[in-house]
Chain A
């Protein structure tokens, strides 16, 4: 397999993993904030900022890798993200704590283990390989969908901005999808339907 083939394969693998990680976190952002707070590595305010930043960033990075745009920069940021995950997991394991990983959001909650460090290390290696093999920092790669469809005439920043716009829209839609699906709880029955007589009367024994 050629260098470009390896690069494309690693990009797709990382993109799918980061996409799978970002979507549940975007759908349940408060849960992720709580998970980051539970790691107890950063001060609370910084934890909240980090937790708000990571899911849309993961989505954007996955999109950039999927589209073959600015993949060298994306791989550098992914490496830093993975490094932060490894440090957080390592600190907690050293403390003897096993908080929920929350790596893929709520669907894959499991306590952190040493094996997770190996998984993140493997992903970090893949990201570093992309950094080493990719040719462009900002412009699309030759195999990018933008190059294939001839959409780079508008300048090299165009694809980057398009990915950023798609990520922002997706993040907004995904975070709203949960509240729309769940509906507003307020005033929707909890109060109206409480039959006080059934609470106050002993109906057993």
Chain B
């Protein structure tokens, strides 16, 4: 093979590699675009039939709902009633194939492991039992998980997004709700003022206004 042929082959392979990289980049951008525009994505939810975050879930200040359900991961029967007082409660709504839900598992487990029962948590999984069990086999959760097969709990609480968190105080009053896209969002929901601004934007009511009200309530 002459030098000219070899050079042309090398150039050709270089072009092929560049085209491959460009194609992967374009596919990725197309995927992201598709994901952003598809129904049910967080961005489309904002403008679609899904209510705004402020109106998603129960209204702030509403009392704890009665929850009588069987957990599917060995925590037995859960019986939370409006009469229960003394412990803050965290409801987290998830769907098995929601990617953000998969990311929130580890922070949730860390929360349960370290808060020493300061906050009692329950995960409401919006799926049938087989899907719930499949999720738990891959992403084990160290807190009670209730399988909401017929979406009765999510409908009662008017929750449309996942992963979505509801935080009730020790008087059984809903004090904060948030879209939980990561660890920072969980921190913001739990009232950490040091959480990033992006995370605080996912919380309702905003932490800043809560902090402003704090002296009055204290």
Contacts and interface: CB of A to CB of B under 8 A. Distances in A.
A104 B31 contact: yes
Kindly state the interface size class of chain A when it binds its partner: 35 or more
A12 B20 contact: yes
B187 A190 contact: yes
Given A107-B28, A200-B88, A190 B61 contact: no
B61 A44 contact: no
Interface stretch (B70-78, B114-122, B154-162): B114-122
Given A34-B97, A199-B190, A202-B171, A19 B20 contact: yes
B102 A34 contact: yes
Nearest to B135: A34
Nearest to B27: A20
Contact of A194 (B99, B115, B205): B115
A44 B187 CA distance: 34
Contacts of B181: none
A187 B113 CA distance: 10
Contacts of B28: 20, 107
Nearest to A21: B27
Contacts of A30: 102, 138-139
B106 A185 contact: yes
A30 B61 CA distance: 38
A113 B175 CA distance: 42
A140 B122 CA distance: 57
Contact of B60 (A38, A194, A205): A205
B173 A31 contact: no
Given A12-B16, A106-B99, A185-B106, A193 B170 contact: no
Contacts of A23: 24
Interface string A137-156: 00000000100100000000
B68 interface: no
Interface string B14-40: 001000100110011001101100100
Q: Is the interface of A mostly helix, strand, loop or mixed?
A: helix
Contact of A107 (B32, B111, B119, B134): B32
Contacts of B88: 196, 199-200
A190 B13 contact: no
Contact of A199 (B31, B38, B102, B167): B167
B65 to A, nearest CB: 17
Contacts of B111: 190-191, 194
Interface residues of B, number: 60
B200 interface: no
B137 A37 contact: yes
Given A16-B24, A34-B102, A38-B134, A188 B183 contact: yes
* Residue among B135, B192, B214 with the highest chain A CB neighbour number at 10 A: B192
B213 A190 contact: no
A198 B208 CA distance: 13
B184 to A, nearest CB: 8
B122 to A, nearest CB: 15
Interface string A26-59: 0010110111011010001000100000000000
Given A193-B194, A194-B192, 16 more contacts: A12-B16, A16-B24, A34-B135, A35-B97, A44-B137, A104-B27, A104-B31, A106-B99, A110-B34, A189-B183, A190-B187, A190-B190, A191-B114, A193-B190, A199-B170, A204-B213
23 contacts: A12-B16, A15-B20, A20-B28, A28-B99, A30-B138, A31-B99, A34-B97, A34-B139, A48-B137, A108-B34, A109-B97, A145-B13, A148-B9, A186-B106, A189-B183, A191-B110, A193-B195, A194-B191, A194-B192, A198-B214, A199-B169, A199-B170, A199-B175
Q: Which 4 A-B pairs have the closest CB atoms?
A: A191-B114, A198-B191, A107-B31, A37-B134
